Every structure is written in C-alpha cells, then in structure tokens.
Amino acid sequence: MLSTLLLRDAGTSRYLGAASIVQKEDNGGSFAKDFASAESSREASSPTAASRGHGHAFAASLVLGTAAFYSSLQQVAKGLIEWSVGLALAALRPNEWVDFKLQETYDVNHNTKLFRFSFDPEKNLGLNVASCLLTMADIGTKEDGSPKKVIRPYTPISPPDSKGYFDLMIKVYPQGLMSQHIAHLKPGDTLAVKGPIPKLPYEPNKKKQIGMIAGGTGVTPMLQVLDAILSNPDDNTQVSLVFANTTPDDILLKEKLDRLASAHPNFKVFYVVDKPTEDWKGGRGYINKDVLLKALPSPSDDTVILVCGPPGLMKVISGDKAKDKSQGEVEGLLKDLGYPKEQVYKF
C-alpha cells in the first residue's frame, strides 16, 4: 500500500527520484574515494611522489568533500520522503480545512464534555508534541448578511498517533460561541478542523525537569506533553503539575492524573481549589509563591515551566503573551521567583 501511495504522489515521486540519484552519486563518491586512496599508495614510492603529494592530498580532500555533500543531500531527500509520506498518512492538513464527523459525546463533569471525532482508521491525526488544532464554524452573520466565521484552538487529549479518531475535552461556556456550537452537534455532524499548529517542540530528556501550571481546560496541552514523557521508558524527565480549579468537582481527568502519579515516580501532581469542600485534602485557595516553591523545580538551565489557563491565571502566574502573540516578558509570580523568559513557555 505504501509503495502504491508513493507512486501516486507526483511530489513524492520526485523525492524518490532525487534519492535514487543521490544514492548513485554517493556510490560514485565512495568509489572515487577508494580510487584516490589506491593511487596515493601506489605513487608514494615513485621519485616524483613528494612533488605531487600536495596535489593528491587536495584532490582526495575534494573528493571526500563531494562525497560528504552528496551524503548530506541524500539525508535531505530521505527527510523529504518521510515528511511527504507522513503528510499523506495524516488526517489533518496544515493549510486547508478538513471536515471531521462527530462520533460520540461524553459528559466529563457538570460543564465539560469530551467529543470524539472520527476519520479514516488507516490514518493518524498528524499531531506533533506539543501542538494544537484549529476549529472553524459559521456562527451568526455579519452586518452585510454574510456568515460569520468563528475560529478557536483546541488541544486534543487523545494520543497524537491515534488512528481513526481524536478527542477534544471542552468546557461549555454559556456565552461561548464555539463551545456552544460544538456542544449542539449530533453524531454524524461535522466540524471543520485545520492543523497541526506547532507550539513547543518536545524532545525527550532535553530538560531534566519540567514544571507545569494549569487552570481548568488549560491542562490539555500539559496532558499532551505528559503522555509523551510517561509513555517513553527512555525519557527520564521529572515533571510536576500544579493544577488550579474552582471546586474539586471541576478538576478534569483527576483519576487519570492520580493514576499516572502513582505509576510513575517522575511525575507529581498538586491540586489547588479556591472553593474546597469540607473533606477536601488538597491545596486550598489560590496558587501563590508558597505553592510554587513547594511544587516547581528551581530556576535552572535544565528547567522549563509551562503555563496554560484562563486570562486571570496567566496574569497572576506569568503574564500573558505579547500583543503579537509572541511569548513576551515573564511577569507575575514566576518573575518574582526568578524564572527568566528563556525558562518559561506560555501556551
């Protein structure tokens, strides 16, 4: 199936052709390298070897440089092939809207739902860690009577490599245009989606410690990174999550987080609620310096702090992004605790 797919794609066929040419050239380079070596050995004993030595050394260096160049070109061609194949097998498209069917809906709690969308079971969604997707719907009309397009980003909580489906966990706000639209979809209805939208490229063991601060559904990108770390037995990154909510019932996926914390010694979770019940045993009130000092790794080149949540939380913890959507300066509690902007990432 894969070979048929490659041959069908004209762009991929060009990459295959390029790879084939590079392979031939690289073999030629290796042969030239052996030939140059043999010639140097043969002529080393001749009377004129000393006078010609520098010329042969230059020629050999030139051949070696050419071989290295073609080897690099071969790697580029290989990368292009892998990228093209990956794109062909991905359900998402970065530059076009694709309709996905709603398969099922689950109630997570009193105001949050999980929506499962389906697609070709032979394909994966095509997400990277960490990245999100965009949703679009015609909601209402403009003054000229044309449809008003509403676009909102969401981070799936299903594994990025899952085939045939993806899950969105969405808090349904009374005045939320997109959340209300999705909440009223019925199985079989479609939603326009585009992506992936790259966020923070994650590399295993690049940082020794990752601190996460999330509020409400801001936990979704944290879960994406967390799942990538804990599902990789070779990833030794230490992770701590501070998760803020209004009440204990608002804590999303608490059972999963507790299960992960019990199963993986390199993950710890700290809950904070500002309206606790009498039997609540976690943190009470709001996130403050004491909570962060207890839960987060100290500022270090081997540390990064990830932050995601509603505007109020972002303002207190790290400051929001800049107006141009760049990361901007670090403000709030993280600034007070000495974290430079190079060690903080705002989703």
For residue range 18-77, what is the model confidence (pLDDT) as tens digits?
Answer: 333 233 333 334 333 333 444 344 444 444 444 445 555 555 555 555 655 555 555 544
Secondary structure class of 309 (helix, strand, coil): coil
Q: Looking at 158, 179, 198, which one is the last position of a domain?
A: 198
274 and 329, same domain (yes or no): yes
Q: Residue 155 is part of a domain; what is its CATH number?
A: 2.40.30.10
Q: Has residue 54 been placed in a domain? A: yes
Q: Looking at 146, 179, 198, which one is the last position of a domain?
A: 198
Task: Name the E strands within the chain.
Answer: 98-107, 112-118, 131-141, 147-154, 165-171, 190-198, 209-215, 238-245, 267-273, 283-284, 303-308, 344-346
264 and 336, same domain (yes or no): yes
Return the pLDDT at 161: 85
Torsion of CA 16, 19, 23, 25, to 10 degrees: 120
Q: Has residue 7 been placed in a domain? A: yes
Query: Which pLDDT tens digit goes with each residue over 86-127?
Result: 456 899 999 999 999 999 999 999 999 999 999 999 999 999
Q: Has residue 117 been placed in a domain? A: yes
Secondary structure class of 162 (helix, strand, coil): coil
Task: Name the E strands within 292-332.
Answer: 303-308
DSSP letter, residue 90: B
Residue 10 pLDDT greater than 80, yes or no: no
219 and 267, same domain (yes or no): yes
Residue 262: other Cβ atoms inside 10 A? 9
270 and 182, same domain (yes or no): no
Return the pLDDT at 89: 84
Residue 230 tokens, joined:
């804990």
Q: Has residue 270 been placed in a domain? A: yes
166 and 273, same domain (yes or no): no
169 and 279, same domain (yes or no): no
Query: Which pLDDT tens digit goes with each residue over 263-312?
Result: 999 999 999 999 999 999 999 999 999 999 999 999 999 999 999 999 99
180 and 225, same domain (yes or no): no
17 and 104, same domain (yes or no): no
Question: Assign residue 140 a region: left if phi > 0, alpha if psi is -120 to 50, beta otherwise?
Answer: left
Q: Residue 237 is part of a domain; what is its CATH number?
A: 3.40.50.80
For residue 118, what are the β-bridge partners?
Answer: 101, 165
Query: Which pLDDT tens digit goes with each residue over 217-266?
Result: 999 999 999 999 999 999 999 999 999 999 999 999 999 999 999 999 99
Q: Are strands 98-107 and 190-198 parallel, antiparallel or unpaired?
A: antiparallel
If one counts the domains in the chain, the total is 3
120 and 238, same domain (yes or no): no
**φ, ψ at 23 (rounded to 5°):** -60, -45
Q: Has residue 204 been placed in a domain? A: no
Measured in whole angstroms, how far is the alpha carbon of residue 173 from the centre of its chain?
26
235 and 288, same domain (yes or no): yes
Query: pTM for the complete prediction?
Result: 0.74
Structural domain of residue 78, as residue ranges?
Answer: 2-88
Q: Has residue 128 been placed in a domain? A: yes
Query: Which pLDDT tens digit goes with each residue over 179-207?
Result: 999 999 999 999 999 999 999 999 999 99
Confidence of residue 14 (pLDDT cuts 50, 70, 90): very low
DSSP letter, residue 343: G
Which residue in the block uniquely carries the two structure tokens 């070109």? 73
183 upstream amide cis, omega within 30 of 0: no
30 and 127, same domain (yes or no): no
E strand or H helix at 11: helix 10-43
DSSP letter, residue 330: -
Q: How far apart are CA 246 and CA 310, in angstroms?
A: 12
Return the pLDDT at 73: 55
Which residue in the block uniquely carries the two structure tokens 């001749």? 46
Q: How far apart are CA 225 and CA 169, in angstroms?
A: 16
Confidence of residue 160 (pLDDT cuts 50, 70, 90): confident
Q: Has residue 203 been placed in a domain? A: no
Q: Rounded to whole angstroms, what are the CA distances from 119 to 88, 278, 347? A: 14, 45, 27
256 and 333, same domain (yes or no): yes
Q: How far apart are CA 170 and CA 186, in angstroms?
A: 15
Residue 84's contacts (CB-CB under 8 Å, 6 or more residues apart) are 6, 9, 11, 12, 15
Residue 200: other Cβ atoms inside 10 A? 16
Query: Which pLDDT tens digit goes with each residue over 286-300?
Result: 999 999 999 999 999
Return the pLDDT at 32: 37
Q: Has residue 75 been placed in a domain? A: yes
Q: Looking at 59, 88, 117, which one is the last position of a domain?
A: 88
